[in-house]
Structure 1
Amino acid sequence: MKATTTWTKGMSSVITDNRGHEITIDLPEAKGGEDLGATAFEVCLMSYSGCVNTIFNIVAKKMRIEFEALVVDTIGSQKDGAPTFTDVEVELKIDSEASDEKIEKCLQQTLKMCPVGVLFHQAGVNTTYKIEKMQKA
């Protein structure tokens, strides 16, 4: 696995992986950028959210949990002027007929397996979670 970051202009850069994908990162205008993309710090939190979503999907398939919709919000906080995240709340929203207990078990397994979440945990970031069942229209 490899990531390469190439400066483009101002505070903006393009990050590529070794599989042909790329993202643009930048700073908001208030911090000297042109707001052409998320900041690297925001991408870090976005990666956690995406990882939980992906791993939950994998675990749910193994547990035979079917769902119509799945949304994972991650909310990062920096307490007492910390330079990085001190706390992250994972909010899983799901439209599923599966029992609350089964969804809870799936999320617990997901949090143990999510490599990005493991990195956050090893860095001492306090992670909490909640599950919300989506209401059918």
Structure 2
Amino acid sequence: MKATTIWTNQMTSTVTNNRGHEVILDLPQAKDGLNLGATALELCLMSYSGCVNTIFNVVAKKMRIEFTGLDVDTTGSLKDGAPTFTDVEIELRIDSEASNEKIEKCLQQTLKMCPVGVLFHQAGVNTTYKIEKLQKA
């Protein structure tokens, strides 16, 4: 696995994964950027959110949990002037007929398996979560 970053202008750069995918990183205009993309720290949080969504899908399939909707909101906090995240809250919203207990078990297993979440955990970032089960209209 390899990533390559190329500076393009001011605070803007393009990051590639060398498999044909790229992401634009930048800073907001208030920090001398052009606001053309997420900051690296925002991308880190976005990666955690995406990883939870992907791994939940993998675990749910193995547990035979079917769903028609799945959203993951991930909120990072930097407390006491910390330079990076100290706390992350994950809110999973799911539209499923599976039991609350089964969904809870699936999310707990997801958080143990999510490689990005493991990095956050190893860095000492406190992660909490909540589940909202959506009701069909």
Query: What is the CA–CA distance in structure 2 between the aligned matches of 1:19 and 1:135, rounded to whole Å?
Result: 39
Q: What corresponds to 1:70 in structure 2? A: 70
Query: What is the CA–CA distance in structure 2 between the aligned matches of 1:64 and 1:79, rounded to whole Å?
Result: 39
Query: What is the CA–CA distance in structure 2 between the aligned matches of 1:93 and 1:100, rounded to whole Å?
Result: 12
How far does the alpha carbon of each residue in 1:30-56 deviate from its partner, in whole angstroms, 9 at most, with x for none? 110010000000000000000000000
Q: How does 1:1-137 map to 2 (within 5 A)?
A: 1-137=1-137
Runs of 4+ in 1 over 6 A off after TM superposition: none
Q: Shift of residue 26 of structure 1? A: 0.3
After TM superposition, the score normalised by the length of structure 1 is 0.99
Q: CA RMSD in A?
A: 0.5
Query: What is the CA–CA distance in structure 2 between the aligned matches of 1:83 and 1:33, rounded to whole Å?
Result: 19
After TM superposition, the score normalised by the length of structure 2 is 0.99
Letter in 2 for 1:115: P
Which structure 1 residue ranges, 5 or more long, are not aligned? none
Which structure 2 residue ranges, 5 or more long, are not aligned? none
Q: Shift of residue 135 of structure 1? A: 2.5
How far does the alpha carbon of each residue in 1:38-80 deviate from its partner, in whole angstroms, 9 at most, with x for none? 0000000000000000000000000000000000000000000
Q: Percent identity?
A: 81
Q: How many residues align structurally?
A: 137
Query: What is the CA–CA distance in structure 2 between the aligned matches of 1:53 and 1:110, rounded to whole Å?
Result: 9
